[in-house]
Structure 1
Amino acid sequence: MPLYLLALDASSSACSAALLRQDEADTACLARFEMTPRAHTRRLLPLVDEVLAEAQIQPSQLDAVAFGRGPGSFTGLRIAAGAAQGLAFGLDRPLLGISTLEALALQAHRRYHFRHIVTALDARMGEVYIATWHCLKDVTSPMSDEAVIAPERVRLSADETDWVGVGSGFTLWDRFSTDVQLGMPQHLNDLEPRAEEMAWLAARDFTAGLGQAAHLVQPVYLRNDVAWKKPA
């Protein structure tokens, strides 16, 4: 029997859904992606319906559900988590939370064959969500913990010479240190996390037995204090 896994994401200005079908002979993924700032609530579930309809399967045929668990937009993460938890709970299926930063690294690796990747998302309040990755043959390996930090404080290991920056955090390029800029000759700030890569990562985690009950999987915000306070 094939594995059917649904992934959805609303962690950024984009909104996306993907359905992965995997069996012993083949793996295929149907996906929808839209730039929908401030329209995630209205568009997320219709995108889910579209990929299910294209695949001609019913929700009851799903084996697992996944979502972009963050870091990212607080509102978007809550929307995606609520939708994914509702689907997983209603279907009595395991739920998997997938790192938006890892999904972004996998996208950059698969699209451009980058190997040493710094993923960064604009965290507002003068900070970025950031992590570093080594990618090889569609396998992502973390080289640092995920963090929320001011661009000026970002440091990269000196033993790699081909770092590539990916994500909206690099719209703050001028605020990164000279050392970081010299060690990162290329950066792309127009890539957004997508449910398509999250589906592939979720299939990996599902096979490893990492699926959980819906109520146990929560968004990862990284920042505890969501309200910016001016200094006294």
Structure 2
Amino acid sequence: MTRILALETAGETCSVALLDDGNVIERFEHAPRRQTELVLPMVEGLLADAGVRLKDLDGIAFGHGPGAFTGVRVAAAVTQGLAFSADLPVVGISTLAACALSAQARQAHSHVIACFDARMGELYLGAYECEDGAASAILNDGLFNPDALPDLPSADWMIIGSGLVYQDALVAAYGASRCIIDAHPHAKAVAQLALSAFERGEGVSAEQAQPVYLRDQVIQGAVR
């Protein structure tokens, strides 16, 4: 598995990336609520610039959430459509893991807590050990109340993401040598994490490209 297209639209940004024999090219825009209109033109432009056709890909990866409901759904739907049209396998990647790896690439910090503001007085949170282009989960992604945060092993933590609106509670629970609220997940990190997932045989068919919301109320509300 050497040529992977990756999409990430779960937050306030829109990015696409192409991993080709270890090299990654990416297009990234800060685009709150514009992912629906931007993502397909960005994919088309990226592939055209690289001289790669959709059928030349080995697989497609997407940030499956958690994150903003619409953004998470956009990435899954576009991935399904592209994968169906070219009969390609897909793999979903944690958006929190992608955010952690993206931040680690900027700050060279191995222990990263990634957290997003989930609204309604809650936050999405996952903890990772990041090194060599991988993000190993220390705490699986979950939805938490900032007044009842889960336990984590003692470490030199870097805390990143919009969940730092609850910075006082997070720092009190975990300590932190660095906090970065304006950290965002990148499709480049999704592609890097997907490479290992495909190599482990975790690729699935297009119809199995499903978003991960983590909040039952959101899913139930969408069904009604």
In which range does the TM-score fall when normalised by the shorter chain? over 0.9
Matched, 1:152 2:147: yes
Tell me if 1:82 matches 2:77: yes
Deviations 1:46-82 (A, max 9, x none): 1101210111111111110111100001111111111
Offset of residue 150 of structure 1: 1.5
Q: Counterpart amino acid of 1:72?
A: G
Q: 1:224 aligns with which of 216, 220, 223?
A: 216
2:203 corresponding residue in structure 1: 211
- Establish whether residue 130 from structure 1 lines up as the match of residue 129 from structure 2: no
Percentage identity across paired residues of the two chains: 39
Aligned twin of 1:7: 6
> Could you tell me whether the CA contact under 8 Å between 1:109 and 1:138 is conserved in 2?
no
CA distance change for structure 1 residues 203 and 227 in 2, over 3 Å: closer, same or farther?
closer
What is the 5 A alignment of 1:40-79? 40-79=35-74
- CA distance in 1 between counterparts of 2:213 and 2:152 reads 25
Residues 1:60 and 1:177: Cα distance change in structure 2 (over 3 Å): closer
Deviations 1:56-114 (A, max 9, x none): 11111111011110000111111111100000011000011010011111112222111
In the alignment, residue 168 of structure 1 is paired with which amino acid?
Answer: S
Which deviates more from structure 2 when the two are superposed, residues 77-86 or residues 144-153?
144-153
Q: TM-score, normalised by structure 1?
A: 0.90
Change (3 A) 1:227 1:134: closer
Distance 1:158 1:214, change over 3 A: closer
Please say if residues 125 and 228 of structure 1, whose CA atoms lie closer than 8 Å, have aligned partners that are also in contact: no
Structure 1 residues 96 and 178: CA distance shift in structure 2, 3 A: closer
Q: Any conservation in 2 of the 1:19–1:51 contact (CA below 8 Å)?
A: yes
- Paired AA for residue 101 in structure 2: L
Structure 2 residue aligned with 1:167: 161
TM-score, with length taken from structure 2: 0.93
Q: Which has the larger radius of gyration?
A: 1
Q: Residues 81 and 192 from structure 1, CA distance in 2 versus in 1: closer, same or farther, beyond 3 angstroms?
A: same
Deviations 1:18-56 (A, max 9, x none): 01101xxxx101100101112111101111012101111
Gaps in structure 1 of 5+ consecutive residues: none
**Separation in 2, partners of 1:227, 1:220:** 10
C-alpha displacement at 1:228, in angstroms?
Answer: 11
Q: Which amino acid in structure 2 is aligned with residue 142 of structure 1? A: A
Structure 2 unaligned segments of length 5 or more: list them.
none
Distance 1:9 1:138 in 2: 17
The AA in structure 2 aligned to 1:138 is: G
1:40 and 1:79 in contact (8 A); partners too: yes
Deviating above 4 A after TM superposition, structure 1's stretches of 4 or more consecutive aligned residues are none
29, 32, 43: which one pairs with 1:34?
29
Match of 1:201 in 2: 193
Say whether the 8 Å CA contact 1:152–1:177 is kept in structure 2: no
Check whether the contact 2:139–2:152 (CA below 8 A) recurs between aligned residues. no
Structure 1 CA distance, aligned partners of 2:143 and 2:121?
10
